[in-house]
Structure 1
Amino acid sequence: MISSKVAFVFIWAVSATVLGAPQQKPQGKEVPIISQESDIQPDGSFKWSFEGGDGTKAEASGQPKQIDKETPVVIQGSASWTDDQGGQHQLTYVADENGYQPQSPDIPVAPEIPAAIQRALEYNAAHPEQDGEK
């Protein structure tokens, strides 16, 4: 029963994404689909891929994984594309019991914590009994 629910949710999510995308007039020529694959198995596992004539690529695969009393589908995937200025972009991700975990050079990285603040944080963590005292 869970595999049909997973397949339904996956198909619904993809359909909602496609149908919910803003409809725009094409700027320039149409981009042909070079390849497209979609395979959904009864156990809930799936494999999906797409490649456009402009070099855009996306793929994802998933398989059920027993976690405690639940059996969610663990997903891994990637996408790559070229922006309007010619910049190359790539994204890889995993979605599992630890949440959505994207990796890309395009994702901003927080600056390092200054050394003095890091020392203060470590001191506070080592001395919790002093929190709130006056």
Structure 2
Amino acid sequence: MKLIVVFAAVLAVALAAPVDEKDAHVVQYENDHQGIGGYNLKYETSNGIQQVEQAQLKKFDDEVSALVVRGSYSYVGDDGQTYTVNYIADENGFQPEAAHIPRA
């Protein structure tokens, strides 16, 4: 019985240990490519990185159109805290927003 308890404790510690970056792997991946009209992307890795992104084609005038991208990504920092960045990339450039990013 004592051996089972020790084994369970060791197993719990091993499963709770953070994944080394070089050993990280993709645990979820979805990509819905909609041709020239846009896409939806979502993925997650075993080391806590996640990203969700959507893009749609926006027509600015008769000759100019571009993808407008909205999304977010998150990761676990060295301090163990999860950081999330929400963003949009459009005709005004890349515009990230997050509590940990300083504002001008």
Write the letter of the residue equivalent to 1:57: Q
Greater relative CO (CA pairs within 8 A, separation 6+)? 2
Counterpart for residue 87 of structure 1: 81
Per the TM alignment, residue 107 of structure 1 is displaced from its structure 2 partner at its CA by 1.1
**Off by >6 Å, runs of 4+ in structure 1:** none
Matches of 1:30 and 1:78, distance apart in 2: 24
1:54 aligns with one of 30, 43, 47: 47
Counterpart for residue 109 of structure 1: 103
Greater strand content: 2
Greater helix content: 1
1:35 aligns with 2:18: no
Matches of 1:27 and 1:93, distance apart in 2: 27
CA RMSD of aligned residues (A): 2.1
After superposition, give the CA deviation of every residue in 1:31-88 in whole Å (9 maximum; x if it has no partner): 2322011222223311111111232101211010111231101000100111122122
Q: Rg bigger for which structure?
A: 1
Q: Which range moved further: 49-58 or 27-36?
A: 27-36
2:90 aligns with one of 71, 96, 99: 96
Instruction: Structure 2: give runs of 5+ residues left out of the alignment.
Output: 1-18
Per the TM alignment, residue 28 of structure 1 is displaced from its structure 2 partner at its CA by 6.7
